Amino acid sequence: MAGNSPLGSVDKALRALQRLGDAGAGGLPLTQLACDLGLNKSSIHRTLAALRHRGFVEQDRNGNYRLGPSLLAIADSHLRDESLRGLIHDALAALCKKAGETCHLGVLTGEQVVYIDKVEPQRAIRIWSEIGWRNPALTTALGRAILAQKYVDFESFAADFPGTIPLRSPHTRASLKLVWQEFLEARRRGFAREEQENEPGVTCIAVAILRGAQPVAAISITAPVERMDSRRQAALARMLSECIGPALPPGLSLQHIIGQRPPLARALRDKNSARGAIKAVRTAR
């Protein structure tokens, strides 16, 4: 493979990064890495020295080589808000068309949710929101989907939200205990929801996007309350998973939705997220 590359040294470095990505956090000793790549130790040692200089690999206390912080930073920047919007906008549009309802992509900023993408259908009734708008995370399905995955105990959640909950409508859950109860339900059913709590007459469901176990964003479907009984909410959540799940880049996944089998391909792709990031760098060369 390296012999066929017009840039042998670059290809050698990318192959080394790929193999270290496969090896995981434990890394590999120099001898094993050279053997796996079919290269002599002195050659791969020079490559690793250059990669270490730029922070793309590092050595642990046992001398094993593993992926370094610079490579992980590239993967993080690739999946920042604007990048994520571009990566899944077409899937969001497909979801909107299939569901016939307004769809949002949102991220958490402090105690608020920021809408970074929106697609709406051609309907007479529309939802008043715009890209860049902010809403309280505690009163929105988007915010609840993210927070339900972020916090595992009530005490840490309450410590980060010491203020009062904005009462956006007569239906708003007014206490952290009530909101926490929705978090528990959201984890159980596989999607968060709010029913006329942020805006009278409007119901919303949302599913979190995860990097490993950490939430990074959420996708929501919003509609008038009369079109959102419990059966349709569950059906829309499954539809969301079918449309958005396959479009997510390596390293990201949706929270599991009750009644939907987790795809094996997604699990394998998540496991090899670092490898996927390296492939993206190679493709861009």
Same domain, 7 and 126: no
Sign of CA dihedral 228, 150, 212, 116: positive
CB count within 10 Å of CB 267 equals: 10
Q: Is residue 285 part of a domain?
A: no
Which band of pLDDT confidence, cut at 50, 70 and 90, is reported for residue 95? very high
| pLDDT at 267 (0 to 100) | 43
Model confidence at 79: pLDDT above 70: no
Query: For all residues of the chain together, what is the average pLDDT?
Result: 84
Cα distances (Å, whole numbers) of residue 271 to 54, 112, 208: 25, 31, 18
Q: What is the pLDDT of residues 5-58, one digit of tens each?
A: 546 788 899 999 989 988 877 889 999 999 999 999 998 999 999 999 988 999
End-to-end C-alpha distance for the chain, whole angstroms:
16
What is the rounded distance in angstroms from the CA atom of residue 205 to the CA atom of residue 229?
11
Name which of 239, 244, 264 is nearest 254 in CA terms.
244
1 pLDDT higher than 60:
no
Tally of structural domains, the chain: 2
Length reported for the chain:
285
pLDDT tens, residue by residue, 107-131 = 988 899 989 999 998 865 566 677 8
pLDDT score at 257 = 73
Structural domain range at position 8: 2-67
Which band of pLDDT confidence, cut at 50, 70 and 90, is reported for residue 207? very high
User: Are residues 119 and 23 located together in one domain of the fold?
Assistant: no
Using CA atoms, how far residue 263 sits from 131, 216, 246, in Å, is 31, 20, 9
The three-class DSSP label of residue 80 is: coil
Of the pLDDT bands very low, low, confident and very high (cuts 50, 70, 90), residue 258 is low
User: How many beta carbons lie within 10 A of that of residue 142, not counting itself?
Assistant: 30
> Is the pLDDT reported for residue 268 higher than 80?
no
Which domain CATH number covers 15?
1.10.10.10
pLDDT of residue 278: 52
Shared-domain flag, residues 147 and 15: no
The pTM (predicted TM-score) of the whole model is 0.67
Does pLDDT of 162 surpass 70? yes
Q: pLDDT tens, 219-254?
A: 999 999 999 999 999 999 999 999 999 999 888 899
Residue-level pLDDT at 126: 60
Co-location of 88 and 130 in the same domain: yes
User: Which CATH number is 81's domain given?
Assistant: 3.30.450.40
- Domain co-membership, 152 together with 61: no
Quickly state the pLDDT bin for 89 (edges 50, 70, 90): very high
Residues 154 and 39 in one domain: no
pLDDT over 60 (residue 277) = no
Whether residue 206 lies inside any domain: the answer is: yes
Question: Residue 90: what pLDDT?
Answer: 95
Alpha helices in the chain (DSSP H): 8-23, 30-37, 41-53, 69-78, 81-99, 141-150, 154-160, 176-189, 230-244, 264-271, 273-284
Out of 28, 44, 67, pick the residue that ends a domain.
67
Q: Are 36 and 154 found together in one domain?
A: no
What span, in angstroms and rounded, lies between the C-alpha atoms of 277 and 239? Answer: 27
Provide the residue type at 40 as one letter. Answer: N
Residue 281 lies in a domain: no
